[in-house]
């Protein structure tokens, strides 16, 4: 089955997935922050990915990600609608987190092995567009420098982000998207993680497929993005929906997302 007509949408099975936080996090203006470990609905997750040697492919059953109902046999899933608001002006974004590894120490120098494949969560086996992110698990002392090597979207190994001097001592939850090597547009696999210079702190590395983003232009503002604005990105019944905020000021606010996952 698939979504080819409006009738397919009307007739589809729809599930609402709340992602609501009940407390705030101190953030840095204009920087992405994870709220994965903040209380709410779904209940808080554990920030550390829990595996540095191989990494993991998180799914919806892992604490912190919204649980999804099974799709009907042969059904295709989409993110068909997002209702959103926040008590502060900010940007909001949602990804399917395909791979997570960590928490790595401030001085990690780890070559990963036997990494689990996330190919089953990549629509059309097209790895282009997948993003590489850092996520701070515990606060750093000293400015972190990071380098990640990876296999690119075409399967070419030994690609590298280069040595990225973050210029900051990241606080808990702070996220940073790492640039890919020139000519690359996606990631099949993380190969190694090297962190230097800082003296305290831990972090995760995440590979994520972007699904949706929007702007909350003012305090207490919000909107509804229907299927024409979400663009019907493909979802799986095992997708690990991961949301983050990028705020205008120093509080995350209390963001509210109601995501509609339709399958047909």
Rounded distance, CA 99 to CA 97, Å?
Answer: 6
Residue 43 in the binding site for another protein (CB under 8 A): yes
The alpha carbon dihedral of 192, 63, 47, 130 has a sign of: positive
- Token pair, residue 76, equals 């295709």
Interface residue with another protein among 29, 30, 53, 69 (CB under 8 A) is 69
By beta-carbon proximity to another protein, the closer residue of 29 and 39 is 39
Nearest to 68 by CA among 78, 53, 54, 81: 78
Candidates 20-28, 95-103, 127-135, 139-147; binding stretch for another protein (CB under 8 A)? 20-28
Distance linking the first and last C-alpha atoms of the chain = 6
By beta-carbon proximity to another protein, the closer residue of 165 and 218 is 218
Interface residue with another protein among 227, 232, 233, 249 (CB under 8 A) is 227
Number of residues that bind another protein (CB under 8 A): 47
Residue 84 in the binding site for another protein (CB under 8 A): yes
Rounded distance, CA 211 to CA 66, Å?
Answer: 15
Distance in Å, CB of 36 to another protein, minimum: 11
Rounded distance, CA 247 to CA 253, Å?
Answer: 8
Using an 8 Å Cβ cutoff, are 172 and 92 in contact? Answer: no
- Token pair, residue 194, equals 């090297």
Bridge partners of residue 14, in order along the sequence: 262
Nearest to 164 by CA among 146, 177, 140: 146
By beta-carbon proximity to another protein, the closer residue of 134 and 247 is 247
Interface residue with another protein among 42, 58, 77, 186 (CB under 8 A) is 42
Residue 13 in the binding site for another protein (CB under 8 A): yes
Residue 184 in the binding site for another protein (CB under 8 A): no
Interface residue with another protein among 10, 29, 53, 200 (CB under 8 A) is 10
Give the residues lining the site for another protein (CB under 8 A): 6-7, 10-11, 13-18, 20, 22-23, 39-46, 63-64, 66-69, 80-81, 83-85, 87, 217-224, 226-228, 256, 258, 260
């Amino acid at each position: 089955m698939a979504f080819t007509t409006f009738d397919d949408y009307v007739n589809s099975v729809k599930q609402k997935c709340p992602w609501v936080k009940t407390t705030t996090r101190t953030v840095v203006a204009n920087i992405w922050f994870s709220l994965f470990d903040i209380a709410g609905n779904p209940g808080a997750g554990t920030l550390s990915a829990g595996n540095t040697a191989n990494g993991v492919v998180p799914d919806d059953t892992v604490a912190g990600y919204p649980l999804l109902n099974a799709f009907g046999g042969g059904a295709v899933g989409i993110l068909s609608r997002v209702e959103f608001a926040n008590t502060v002006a900010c940007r909001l974004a949602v990804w399917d987190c395909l791979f997570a590894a960590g928490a790595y120490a401030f001085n990690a120098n780890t070559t990963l092995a036997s990494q689990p494949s996330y190919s089953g969560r990549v629509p059309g086996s097209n790895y282009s567009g997948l993003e590489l992110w850092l996520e701070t698990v515990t606060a750093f002392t000293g400015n972190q420098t990071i380098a990640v090597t990876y296999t690119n979207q075409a399967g070419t190994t030994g690609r590298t982000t280069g040595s990225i001097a973050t210029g900051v001592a990241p606080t808990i939850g702070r996220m940073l998207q790492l640039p890919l090597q020139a000519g690359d547009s996606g990631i099949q696999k993380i190969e190694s993680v090297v962190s230097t210079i800082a003296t305290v702190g831990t972090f995760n590395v995440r590979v994520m497929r972007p699904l949706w983003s929007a702007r909350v232009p003012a305090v207490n503002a919000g909107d509804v993005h229907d299927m024409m604005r979400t663009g019907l990105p493909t979802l799986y019944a095992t997708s690990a929906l991961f949301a983050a905020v990028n705020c205008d000021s120093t509080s995350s606010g209390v963001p509210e997302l109601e995501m509609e996952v339709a399958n047909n």
